[in-house]
Amino acid sequence: MEAVIFDVDGTLVDSERDGHRVAFNLAFEEFGLPYRWSIEEYGDLLRTTGGQRRIDRYLAAEGVDEAERARLAPALHRRKTAIMSELVEEGRVDVRPGARRLLDELASEDVVLAVATTGSRGWVEALLERLLRGVTFGVVVCGDEVEARKPDPEAFTTVLAKIGTDAWTTAVVEDSHEGLAAATSAGLPSAVVVNGYTRDHDLSIAALVLDGFGEPDAPAEVLADPAGTGCRGVLDLATLAALLRR
């Protein structure tokens, strides 16, 4: 295995419920808008990847006309990105348990670490720097650098091109149906680590599904193992390497 590509939101970090959602709501408030996204309804909103698209689609459903949306959505999203960076600095977003263990193990075996996210570079870099200090990501592709966001495979194909590796020696760790679909379209096998928002997603094309990264003394639950990795609840290098033998 040469490389592993990680998603950020919901995968490496628990960022959606208490991070992005809160930042969207604070931006709405600052703009004097009445919209507030509840924890529950945010699960549906998340199915639209990319914060600006999410806002735009929501405003359209609220009956805001196109010209107003073209003005509001980018401005709201710019402000939301700045607020999200502040929330990261305040420590409101946590790394998921076991993620650091896996990253350190892969790095110690000289596996290239990469990121493919539909999130914006404005907060992604602050987050990686603050929460995963000491981890070197060879390539970080963010939503602002691609034309099409997940489930389009562009973020993943862009990472592959930048690393100079191919799909046969690269595995992916994702948390959602949209991310899984994007990786699969790029020809990459995925381990999916679900969270509260993605547990019920259609993950039938995943090579492996767990409810977390797991730690040796606190293994995650293996929800599906169609690739036959034999994973016992700790997502590690050997398990990811097994995904490549397809």
**Site for Mg ion (CB under 5 A): which residue of 3, 4, 6, 10?**
10
- Residues in 132-171 that interact with ligand XBP by CB under 6 A: 143, 150
Of 26-34, 58-66, 113-121, 212-220, the window that binds ligand XBP (rule: CB under 6 A) is: 113-121
Indicate whether 98 belongs to the interface with ligand XBP (CB under 6 A).
Answer: no
CB of 110 to Mg ion, least distance (A): 26
Please choose which of Mg ion, ligand XBP, none residue 49 contacts, taking the beta carbon within 5 to 8 angstroms, the exact cut-off set by kind: ligand XBP
Considering the rule CB under 6 A, would residue 190 count as an interface residue with ligand XBP? no
Site string for ligand XBP, 51-70 (x = CB under 6 A): x-------------------
158/176 with CB nearer Mg ion:
176
- What is the C-alpha to C-alpha distance for residues 81 and 38, in angstroms, rounded to an integer? 19
Identify whether the C-beta of residue 40 lies closer than 8 Å to the C-beta of residue 18: no
CB 112 within 8 A of CB 227: no
Q: Is 56 a catalytic residue?
A: no
Interacting positions 201-240 with ligand XBP (CB under 6 A): none
In the bound complex, what is the minimum distance in angstroms from residue 12's beta carbon to Mg ion? 9
Q: Which of 9, 56, 152, 225 is catalytic?
A: 9
| Length in residues, the chain | 246
* Residues whose CB falls within 8 Å of the CB of residue 50, separated by 6 or more in sequence, listed in order: 118, 143, 149
Q: Which of residues 33-52 bind ligand XBP (CB under 6 A)?
A: 49-51
Residue for token pair 């966001």: 149
Among 14, 56, 154, 175, binds Mg ion (CB under 5 A): 175
20-27, Cβ contacts within 8 angstroms, sequence gap of 24 or more: 20/51, 20/80, 20/84, 22/83, 22/87, 22/92, 23/80, 23/81, 23/83, 23/84, 23/87, 24/51, 24/54, 24/55, 24/76, 24/80, 26/80, 26/83, 27/76, 27/77, 27/79, 27/80, 27/83
Number of residues that bind ligand XBP (CB under 6 A): 18
Q: Helix (H, G, I), strand (E, B), or coil: what is residue 57?
A: helix
> Could you tell me the smallest distance in angstroms from the CB atom of residue 109 to ligand XBP?
25
From ligand XBP, Mg ion, none, interface partner of 20 (C-beta below 5 to 8 A by class) = ligand XBP
Cβ-in-10-Å burial (0-12, 13-18, 19+) of 40 comes to: exposed
Q: What three-state secondary structure class fits 157?
A: helix
User: Is 104 noted as a catalytic residue in this protein?
Assistant: no
Neighbours of 221 (CB within 10 A): 11
The footprint of ligand XBP (CB under 6 A) covers 7, 9-10, 16, 20, 49-51, 81, 117-120, 143, 150, 176, 178-179
Active-site positions?
7, 9
The footprint of Mg ion (CB under 5 A) covers 7, 9-10, 175-176, 179
